[in-house]
Amino acid sequence: MLPAPARPRRRSLATLLLAAGLALPLFGQTTTAPSTPQALLQALANPDPRRREEALVRLGNLGPESPAAVQALVAALGDEDLYLRGAAALALGRIGAPAVPALTQALQGPRSEVRWSAAIALGRVGSPALVALPALTKALTDASEHVRQAAAVTLGGLGPSARSAAPELTRLLSDRDEAVRAAAALALRQVDPAGRASQLTPKALAATLDELVPALMAELHVPGVAVALIQDRRLVWSRGYGVRNAQTREPVTPGTVFEAASMSKPIFGLLALQLVERGRLDLDRPLEAYAPEQLLPEQPERRRVTARMALSHTSGFPNWRPGGEEREGPIPLRFAPGSRFSYSGEGIFYLQRVLERVTGQPLDAWATRDLFAPLGLTATGFAWTAALGARQASGHRDDGTVLTTSKYLHPNAAYSLYTTAEDYARLLIEVMKAERGESKLLAQVSAREALAHQVRLDARDPIERPGAARGTSVFWGLGWSLNATDQGDIAHHGGSNMTGFRCFSQFSPSRGTGLVILTNGTQGSDLWTRVVAAIGDL
């Protein structure tokens, strides 16, 4: 049974029946169960809810013999008691086709709980409910999320015969309610199993995004968004929406520079793996052996932390020390290094400091030399420059007002990457090429190690995606979060900076597809979540 929508106290079933002219004198307090239609109708006005529920079930068992029973059961869909409503829906489902006209009418009534219960009851009816297909499809736009969810579930149960509802179900993939999105995704698999492929062509995806993204921007007060799509391991489409800054009103383009926030971390992981290939870093050698560093409080276990632990977030460090990174605050270990997962920016920053000593250069210099410049990424860097600033977006608060524009002059591998949607997409493409042994910048063994399951995360849910891309379990690789799905692993990483940026990226190594979404508003997380829920199976 679906969860009951919250609502004020309603009139009792007895009152509803009296108003409909259906109630008879109260059934007496007796241990003998009523069996005739007349007695069962009487029992529906009994003050004892157990007797009423029993009567509802028995009325359902009568089948279509009593039209008055159908009317009484439909009236019961509006009872304030959740269990009585559920019993009425079950009973109407048993009656079947004769109940469909009354249920279709109830599905369009003024009370949301009646519409919700009618949708559930139609789902119990089965194929005879196809005559209610127009009403069920309309219910997908209902103001109540409970009604939308129940209608989607019922349409899914009707299978391919309800294929005409596929466009509305597709729109629900970006619904504001997570349960509705999940129900729509399941229903689409049932009503149109082959039709999804036609919605995932570049042209169809562009049309979907052109409709979806501006609507979400307006709803969530996100001023600017840049999106890039990858198919067949190449950039196939990109677009900017809205403005870089709500005050200056400069437009966002695919070349607008955003803060990638925590999407910096997996790119730093690629740089670390390049050093592994050159014999300058061993993933499993303690970092203490490369560059001793004084960290307080002194804990002998800290000397066991390795690059693998830092990149897979099993170092034991907190996310950030009190007062923030790059301070002198204490960094106590939360658990024994390598024993479990706990997301840690401090672990990434510690590895950065070690590797800067190994290379003899600051992160931004060696990143540009070894990765960004060879790929022709002219608008990507770990430290702010005037050239990046000329193309830079500003972050915004929940209400859309402008935040102070950042200038990270000292690179931090955990969050300071500046980039564009197109540049970041090219980084994802290079990883996918490397996984197939086709990259000159990263060895195949390195790419596969980055995408290997280093640690399982039982406490995290997969990213919400439709269809076969629905995640079944969550792992972490060397820099990337990994969702196991029926169509293979999907690697992804999000980003959220205090300066007002919310970003997301994903790619499927087996399918050669990917997606980058960069936003400059603090409600951008809700935006990208709903976009990925709609098209994350590309």
pLDDT of the residue at 530:
97
Q: For residue 34, which phi and psi values (nearest 5 degrees)?
A: -65, 150
Average pLDDT on 429-438 reads 98
275 token code pair: 């050093």
- Torsion sign, CA atoms 461, 464, 465, 468: positive
- What is the band of 16 on the pLDDT scale with cuts at 50, 70, 90? very low
Share of the chain above pLDDT 70, in %: 91
Quick one: which of 431, 476, 345 has its CA closest to 353? 345
Pairing of β 471-476 and β 501-508? unpaired
Average pLDDT on 453-482 reads 95
Place of tokens 């307090």: 29
> Cα separation of 129 and 136, whole Å?
9
pLDDT of the residue at 92:
82
pLDDT of the residue at 189:
92
Contact by Cβ (8 Å): 220, 523: yes
Contact by Cβ (8 Å): 211, 238: no
- What is the band of 8 on the pLDDT scale with cuts at 50, 70, 90? very low
pLDDT at 244 over 60: yes
pLDDT of the residue at 293:
82
Average pLDDT on 320-337 reads 82
The predicted-structure confidence for 330-389, as pLDDT tens digits, reads as follows: 888 999 999 999 999 999 999 999 999 999 999 999 999 999 999 999 999 999 999 999
Average pLDDT on 391-417 reads 96
pLDDT at 47 over 50: yes
- What is the band of 481 on the pLDDT scale with cuts at 50, 70, 90? very high
pLDDT at 18 over 70: no
CB contact set of 89 (below 8 Å; sequence gap of 6+) = 77, 117, 118, 120, 121, 124
Packed helices 82-95 and 67-76: angle between N→C axes, nearest 10 degrees: 150
pLDDT at 19 over 70: no
Decide which of 69 and 367 is more confident: 367
> Cα separation of 360 and 331, whole Å?
25
Average pLDDT on 213-228 reads 98
Contact by Cβ (8 Å): 296, 418: no
The whole-model pTM stands at 0.87
Q: Write down the mean pLDDT value for the chain.
A: 89
> Cα separation of 66 and 240, whole Å?
61
Average pLDDT on 272-278 reads 98
**Beta strands of 282-423 (E only): which ranges?**
418-419
pLDDT of the residue at 32:
52
- What is the band of 52 on the pLDDT scale with cuts at 50, 70, 90? confident
Assigned CATH topology for domain 200-263+379-535: Beta-lactamase (3.40.710)
Q: Which range has the worst mean pLDDT, 58-67, 467-476, 526-535?
A: 58-67
For residue 8, cis peptide bond before it (omega within 30 degrees of 0): no
pLDDT of the residue at 467:
87
Quick one: which of 396, 367, 356 has its CA closest to 499? 396
Share of the chain above pLDDT 90, in %: 71
pLDDT at 29 over 50: no
Q: Which range has the worst mean pLDDT, 173-182, 325-334, 436-445, 490-499?
A: 325-334
pLDDT at 247 over 80: yes
pLDDT at 66 over 70: no
Residue type, position 237, single letter: W
pLDDT of the residue at 61:
72
Q: What architecture is domain 1-125?
A: Alpha Horseshoe (1.25)
Query: How many angstroms from the chain centroid is the CA of residue 62?
Result: 45
pLDDT of the residue at 11:
42
The predicted-structure confidence for 150-184, as pLDDT tens digits, reads as follows: 999 999 999 999 999 999 999 999 999 999 999 99
Q: For residue 121, which phi and psi values (nearest 5 degrees)?
A: -65, -40
96 token code pair: 């079947």
pLDDT of the residue at 34:
58
The predicted-structure confidence for 31-43, as pLDDT tens digits, reads as follows: 455 566 667 767 7
Decide which of 447 and 322 is more confident: 447
Residue type, position 219, single letter: E
pLDDT of the residue at 380:
98
pLDDT of the residue at 84:
76
pLDDT of the residue at 440:
96
Contact by Cβ (8 Å): 83, 1: no
pLDDT of the residue at 30:
42
- Torsion sign, CA atoms 409, 413, 416, 417: positive
CA angle 532, 534, 538 (to 5 degrees): 70
Contact by Cβ (8 Å): 392, 518: no
Decide which of 6 and 58 is more confident: 58
CA terminus-to-terminus distance, the chain? 32
pLDDT of the residue at 356:
97
Domain ranges, ordered by start, for the chain: 1-125, 141-193, 200-263+379-535, 267-366
Average pLDDT on 128-140 reads 96
- What is the band of 95 on the pLDDT scale with cuts at 50, 70, 90? confident
Decide which of 80 and 253 is more confident: 253
- What is the band of 79 on the pLDDT scale with cuts at 50, 70, 90? confident
Quick one: which of 59, 116, 64, 115 has its CA closest to 90? 59
- What is the band of 294 on the pLDDT scale with cuts at 50, 70, 90? confident
> Cα separation of 12 and 478, whole Å?
59
